[in-house]
């Protein structure tokens, strides 16, 4: 899922406050180029990627 206004610290604070299981953090290549991403798990255990904007 691509996010505009990606603020990794704020996102992580919010997810942790709600008990979300966090996976790997890093910079990954996607359809719009290289950018930050956070892997997390939904309540059923499926992995979801939150992707920030491409780094110019």
Is residue 20 situated within a structural domain? yes
The parent domain of residue 40 ranges over 8-51
Is residue 2 situated within a structural domain? no
Is residue 34 situated within a structural domain? yes
Is residue 26 situated within a structural domain? yes
**φ, ψ (nearest 5 deg) of residue 14:** -65, -50
- Model pTM? 0.85
Is residue 38 situated within a structural domain? yes
What is the domain count for the chain? 1
Indicate which CATH number applies to the domain containing 46: 3.10.180.10
- The token duo for 45 is 């255990």
Report the alpha-carbon distance of residue 19 to residue 15 in Å, rounded. 6
Is residue 13 situated within a structural domain? yes
55 has pLDDT over 90? no
User: What is the band of 10 on the pLDDT scale with cuts at 50, 70, 90?
Assistant: very high
Is residue 18 situated within a structural domain? yes
Span 20-54, pLDDT tens digits: 999 999 999 988 889 999 999 999 999 999 999 99
């Amino acid at each position: 899922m691509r996010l505009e206004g990606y603020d990794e610290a704020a996102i992580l604070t919010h997810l942790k406050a709600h008990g979300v299981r966090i996976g790997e953090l890093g910079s990954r290549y996607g359809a719009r180029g290289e950018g930050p991403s956070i892997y997390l798990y939904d309540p059923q255990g499926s992995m979801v990627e939150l992707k920030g904007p491409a780094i110019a």
